[in-house]
Chain A
Amino acid sequence: AQTVTQSQPEMSVQEAETVTLSCTYDTSESDYYLFWYKQPPSRQMILVIRQEAYKQQNATENRFSVNFQKAAKSFSLKISDSQLGDAAMYFCAYRSGGINAGGTSYGKLTFGQGTILTVHP
């Protein structure tokens, strides 16, 4: 079974600075997708960025970028020019690109434990 680990329960950053959130995963699959979700105090789950495992280029969305190290099974999120609105819980998530032998992986997102990000003005 796949597992996702976020080893930083909490992180903090000064406004306008850069912060990196860590995520590692374990899988024997070659076809998969990785995601970062943001959960602000409203509890809404918001997709921040995604990465296809078959792509070598790291995904970027405005101030958000990832460092995808496939061999090391690492998927960190870098937030540049941090803003007060970035304060939230961030979840790393994994989804299989196919169907596992048991056929039980249809669309399932496997989440990490989450990292609470505090942004100081």
Chain B
Amino acid sequence: EAQVTQNPRYLITVTGKKLTVTCSQNMNHEYMSWYRQDPGLGLRQIYYSMNVEVTDKGDVPEGYKVSRKEKRNFPLILESPSPNQTSLYFCASSLSWGSYEQYFGPGTRLTVT
């Protein structure tokens, strides 16, 4: 089944404790990106990747890192999480940046206390 998977689905952590949210797709997509969803703000792009080893900042990159060492994986790294990073996170992928449809993962609910 073609899909985007994220792990974990739920995470509660403390300020400053490094964490990684994994994202994997099995559709051989070149383009992948991360969004965060906050009430009243919709979804905002954090980082995106055009292909392996090619990443760039989105609208809200502060406090996040990403890497794209393999085509299928695009992990989101929070090296020192803070409470303002409490949010719902989505990974998305598409065949290319210009593709009509982006496929979203199931979301990761992160709480930082």
Contact = CB atoms under 8 A, between A and B. Distances in A.
Contacts, number: 58
A109 B37 CA distance: 12
A91 interface: yes
A47 B104 CA distance: 9
Interface string A5-37: 010000000000000000000000000010000
The bracket for how many chain A residues form the interface is: 20 to 34
A111 interface: yes
Task: Specify the main secondary structure of chain B where it touches its partner.
Answer: strand
B68 interface: no
Contacts of B98: 97, 107
Task: Say which size band chain B's interface belongs to.
Answer: 20 to 34
A101 B106 CA distance: 33
A45 B42 contact: no
A112 B31 CA distance: 22
Contact of B102 (A44, A97, A104, A109): A109
Nearest to A114: B42
A68 to B, nearest CB: 16
A106 B107 contact: no
B97 A107 contact: yes
A44 B33 contact: no
30 contacts: A4-B42, A6-B42, A43-B88, A43-B106, A43-B107, A44-B104, A45-B104, A45-B107, A47-B101, A47-B102, A93-B43, A104-B57, A104-B58, A106-B56, A106-B97, A107-B31, A107-B48, A107-B94, A107-B96, A107-B97, A107-B98, A108-B33, A109-B35, A111-B35, A111-B43, A111-B44, A112-B42, A113-B40, A113-B41, A114-B42
Interface of B: 31, 33, 35, 40-45, 48, 50, 56-59, 88, 90, 92, 94, 96-102, 104, 106-107
